Chain A
Amino acid sequence: MAEIVLIGMNHKSAPVEVREQLAVACKEKVDPLVHLPQLQHVDEMFFVSTCNRVEILFICRDAHEALEEVKRLLRNHLGDQFNDSLDQHFYTHHSLDAVKHLFRVASSLDSMVVGEPQILGQIKTAYRQATEHKTVGVILNRLLHKTFSVAKRVRSETCVGSYAVSISYAAVELARKIFGKLADKRVLLIGAGEMAELAAEHLLAQGVCQMAVANRTLERAVSLARRFRAQTVPFDHILDNLKNADIVLTSTGSPEPILLHRDVKSRMRERRNRPLFFIDIAVPRDIDPKINEIDNVYVYDIDDLQGVIDLNLEDRKREAERAEHIIAEETLKFEDWLCTLKVVPTIIALRDKAEAIRQLEIQKTLSHMPHLSESDRKAIEVLTDSIVRKILHDPILYLKRKSERETGQVCIDFTQQVFNLMERDGDAACALTHEASNDMNYNNLLKSVKK
């Protein structure tokens, strides 16, 4: 039976170096989607990589074997330095946990800044790539479409999403209160996170004249720089660039602050005390909070910005709980669907077998009766078809009913034995998961199952 497995790492489970290494490796050398045909144990695969996370979702029949295979693939193409420690940074989720995790990620509940809106777009892009590589089949297609609708539901039914947008809006408003017009101001973007990008976009919309990007990995910096039409700055030269910047947006995954009190203090004189505004979106903080005590320097971290907008902690917690509730509910619904999935191959096999018999018999009969008119032949077709349908109706109903119970597998085996479907079942299942042509048939069936 097919199993859903998710393996990945995020900002909580892995340090930024490992994450970036993996993201870069996946992008350039070992795009998992391209390598799918080499993986024997993996049937379907979906892969998404952002600056805060890498998630690989796949369908397999033997979870253990498939996991080993995927890990081996990653390990082979990653630098040696991470080989030993790689496993401890990964988290693995199986079946419904994997589904739930994907829902949470897409709804931005698992993000560094809860509710940031970009992650859904990133997942959609990743899904488009996966469909182009034809690595997603029935289950993942269904799962991802479900994911999009869950994320949308969370967004529209809770305030989780509005909240991230208002944070970056609040940051821009603060900048305007400090600087007045932003047109001649320069922004330095340190590290790349979804939230920082959102704020940077807001600032650009306000007409900030110049932007510079500093990131530990140059590739990421370059791609961001291209997007914002910015320059890149070597990560080690950030301090020297402080004297040119007016607004500094930080969101690195660094475990300790990257800017210290003395670094900034000594540079304020070079800046002739022009005001400097730090927006620190990273968790843990990138900017030493003591920097706020320096004259003409203003430091706002994510908590401060959250304080600016009125939503208090209680409200936020309640919204997050409501979102979790929606996700739990949708996960259960998906579980139902997955269960009905178990009986689908059997039902199809049953119908196919009956149809084959009917076709055969009709051919035999009609070849003996050439004198029949076209309308008579049609009548016989309809007659036999309805007989087959009516006979199969009850067994199919029985299968569907049992599919959601734990004894479902017994009923399936029993049905297969009674109708002698055994040797055909494997083919049907394979065809199901691999061929898009069966999707139609399958989806129709699903609809009927839902009814």
Chain B
Amino acid sequence: MIATFCYSCGTVGYLVYLFRDLSVIHRVAWWVLSLGAAFHLLAIVLRSFALEHLAVTSPQEAMSFFSWVLVTTYLIVQTRLDLRILGSFVSPLAVVFMLISTLLPRDILPTSGAFKSGWVIFHVSTLFFAYALFALAFCAGVMYLLQERQIKKKNFGFLYTRLPSLQRLDKINDHCLLLGFPFMTVGLITGFTYASAVWRSPWNWDPKEILALFTWCIYAVLLHERLAVGWRGRKAALMAILGFIGVLMTFLGVNLFLEGHHTFSTG
């Protein structure tokens, strides 16, 4: 709860920063976000100990864990790139995830033995980290499209001065993709190996598996086009956004609406 509150404060800070260029606001927002992330980590660790496995088995836990990964990734990226305005786009996303997670039931679900394995932790954390990077790529893509539209249409809103240059946004998009894609690949492979160990077959026509593979294909195409053909700019940003929609489908849609191995309730 404290974490949600901190994230909300941080988000408000970042939104204010979007409109007013004051580095003080940014610094405060950054520290509030960091504080939230620290509390959040504490909560996750406590809960994981209570459950005796990584707390990602219920939708609520998964959301909250993802939102922590997202915030942490952003905080790390921020210290590396110093692209403050990105926070104005990422932090609302984290808050949305946290809010969904608090709205969902907090019951501890009965778990099967299938989740008590180091493989699961590895599988989940790599994939979540990849998703977080894709979320950053998505934010950069949205910012790129906003900025590009203003420059192409020769019609400048207030965002024009606040958003960074196109090439920079494109580069961030590129880096996030380059870093996120291997993580996703590793995550998927561990998923398949673990599945083949537990269910005797790496491929079970689970809706989540299908969608994940589909999403992976989107990113693979994007990466290929970027590296081989030299795609960049608008098309790449659109693809990154499409990819992230795929991620959301895989992550949220399946967990909440479809049934399969990954569905929490059946276990």
| Chain A interface residues (CB < 8 Å from chain B) | 174, 176-180, 269, 271-275, 292, 295-296, 298, 300, 304, 307-308
Contact = CB atoms under 8 A, between A and B. Distances in A.
A296 B233 contact: yes
Contacts of A178: 151, 165-167
Contacts of A180: 164-168
A307 B154 contact: yes
A271 B232 CA distance: 11
Contact of A177 (B160, B234, B235): B160
B231 interface: yes
A90 B68 CA distance: 75
19 contacts: A177-B147, A177-B160, A177-B165, A177-B166, A178-B165, A179-B165, A180-B164, A271-B230, A272-B229, A274-B232, A275-B167, A275-B232, A292-B152, A295-B234, A295-B235, A296-B232, A296-B234, A300-B154, A307-B154
B156 interface: yes
A308 B151 CA distance: 10
A275 B151 CA distance: 12
A273 B231 contact: yes
Contact of A304 (B154, B232, B234): B154
Contacts of A177: 147, 151, 160, 165-166
A180 B160 CA distance: 13
Nearest to B171: A180
Q: State the majority secondary structure of interface residues on A.
A: mixed
Contacts of A275: 166-167, 232-233
Q: State the majority secondary structure of interface residues on B.
A: helix
Contact of A273 (B165, B168, B232): B232
Interface residues of B, number: 18
Given A179-B165, A295-B233, 10 more contacts: A176-B165, A180-B164, A269-B229, A272-B230, A273-B231, A273-B233, A274-B230, A275-B166, A296-B233, A300-B154
A270 B163 CA distance: 29
Interface of B: 147, 151-152, 154, 156, 160, 164-168, 229-235
A143 B262 CA distance: 89
A179 B234 contact: no
B230 A174 contact: no
A174 to B, nearest CB: 7
Contact of B156 (A179, A271, A300, A308): A308
A300 to B, nearest CB: 7
Contact of A269 (B147, B164, B230, B234): B230
A148 to B, nearest CB: 37
A179 B166 CA distance: 6
A295 B170 CA distance: 13
Nearest to B168: A180
Nearest to B170: A275
B241 to A, nearest CB: 15
Nearest to A303: B154
A262 B156 CA distance: 28
Contacts of B233: 273, 275, 295-296
Nearest to B166: A178
Contacts of B160: 177
A58 B237 CA distance: 63
Contacts of B147: 177
A273 B160 CA distance: 23
A274 B236 CA distance: 12
A298 B152 contact: yes
B238 to A, nearest CB: 10
A178 B160 CA distance: 11
Given A272-B230, A296-B232, A296-B234, A179 B154 contact: no
